[in-house]
Structure formats: C-alpha cells, structure tokens
Amino acid sequence: MERIGLFGGSFDPVHLGHLLVAQAAREELDLARLVFLPAAQSPFKPDRQPTPAPGRLRLLRLALAGKTWCDIDEQEIRRGGVSYTIDTVRDYALRFPQAPLFYLIGADHLPQLPKWRAAEELAGRVEFVVIPRPGQAEQPFPAPFRGRWLAGFPLGVSSSQIRARVKAGWPIDHLVPDRVAEAIRNYRLYL
Ligand code: ATP
C-alpha cells in the first residue's frame, strides 16, 4: 500500500528547511510520495497576503525538479480562499481510501492542532508528523491526535527570514536551492 505524505504551507518561498523535511519524511516514514500543497491563504497568517500563487509555484517547481517522489498539488490554490487542511485531506481519503496518510507540520503548530477545523475528523484520517525545530524538545500530541516526530534534519530557516534578507539586500545562498535564489533575483520577488 502506497504511503503518502502531505506537506501543506505557504512556501513563500520554499527553502532548504522544507526540502530537508521532505527528505527526512521520505526516509523515516518510507513514503512512496510526498505531496507539497501550497495554500491559497493560510488560516494561520490572516494578516499576510501571500505572493501570488504563480510565483510561489514557479519556485516550488524549480526546487523539486528531478525529485520524482515529490508532487505539487495545486488544489488549495484552485479552491481559493482560506485553505483548510480538512478539505484537502478529505480529497486524499476519497481518492486513496486504502493509503496511509501522513500530514507534516512544524512543531510550532502542535499545541494548536485541537483548534484546527474539524479536528476530530482530521485526527481520524491522518497521522500527524512533527518536524523538529533546532533545540525544540519532543512534546506529546494533544488528544485526540496521534502521530510521531521526525528525527532529521532540524534547520533554523524560515520563509519570513528569506523574505527579510532579500529586502535587506543580504544573500540567500545556501538557504534556498541555487536555482530558486536565481529565480527570486530574476523575478525581482520580495524586494
Ligand atoms: P513563514 O516564515 O512565512 O511563517 P515558514 O518558513 O514557516 O514560513 P511555511 O510555508 O509556512 O514556511 O511552512 C510549511 C510547513 O513547514 C509548516 O508546517 C512549518 O511549520 C514547516 N517549516 C517551515 N520551515 C521549517 C524548518 N526550517 N524546519 C521545520 N519545519 C519547518
């Protein structure tokens, strides 16, 4: 049975933290594929207008080029509005009724899980997988959620940090793939 990982986020822009998570998740969970799910509008960032989807998608495609086990699913962007995880998870549960589904989240989201839309249903449909942040100790899952923590590879990089660096004129080499850094320069994003 194909084990499927789901990785939602703004990816504004995608960075090496995301890519290392992808690699760790594939190895530790023995995933057949990992699906990146760029959000139209994150429920956690109501005050921030994300970069228009075509720009974020271009960077994601560059970052994932050649990674045959990674997919980009644009369904949240097509739906538009606020992107709720349960809507996407229902779609996967319907299309892949036998497949174990794993949903990746940053450790910062863990305490808030019971407040996510349709929390009870969500907890029954997916196993949550927590991505460690540097220096963050493992915490238990709040009921009724079940899940596990990934071991690798904690990296203290965030999209907001990348955007701030570009705005300040600082280099983003080694924080995003070279092709992504070049595209950010060429499209004049985050200035
Ligand atoms: P921002 O800085 O704009 O809040 P972000 O870097 O957290 O963005 P998102 O696209 O919101 O990026 O992240 C998608 C998911 O990946 C979230 O669950 C987030 O917690 C997680 N994540 C992002 N960066 C890291 C990282 N360096 N290590 C572990 N998890 C991360």
Per-residue tens of pLDDT for the chain, all 191 residues: 899 999 999 999 999 999 999 999 999 999 999 999 999 999 988 899 999 999 999 999 999 999 999 999 999 999 999 999 999 999 999 999 999 999 999 998 999 999 999 999 999 999 999 998 888 889 999 999 999 999 989 899 999 999 999 999 999 999 999 999 999 999 999 99
pTM exceeds 0.85, yes or no: yes
pLDDT for residue 166: 98
pLDDT for residue 140: 94
pLDDT for residue 156: 92
pLDDT for residue 46: 87
Closest CA to ligand 1's atom 22: 106
pLDDT for residue 1: 83
pLDDT for residue 17: 96
Q: Which ligand 1 atom is the nearest neighbour of the CA of 10?
A: 10
Residue in 14, 19, 21, 34 to alter for ligand 1 test, most ligand atoms within 8 A of Cβ: 21
Closest CA to ligand 1's atom 20: 106
Cα 57 to middle of ligand 1, angstroms: 16
Contacts 24+ apart (CB under 8 A), 18-25: 18/63, 19/63, 19/177, 20/152, 20/153, 20/155, 21/104, 21/131, 21/150, 21/153, 22/67, 22/70, 23/152, 23/153, 24/131, 24/150, 24/151, 24/152, 24/153, 25/102, 25/104, 25/129, 25/131, 25/150
pLDDT for residue 45: 87
Closest CA to ligand 1's atom 13: 9
Cα 159 to middle of ligand 1, angstroms: 7
Q: Which ligand 1 atom is the nearest neighbour of the CA of 42?
A: 11
* Ligand 1 pocket by Cβ (under 6 Å): 9-12, 17-18, 21, 105-106, 108-109, 131, 133, 155, 157-160
pLDDT for residue 136: 85
- CA dist 119 and 57 (Å) reads 28
Q: Which ligand 1 atom is the nearest neighbour of the CA of 162?
A: 2
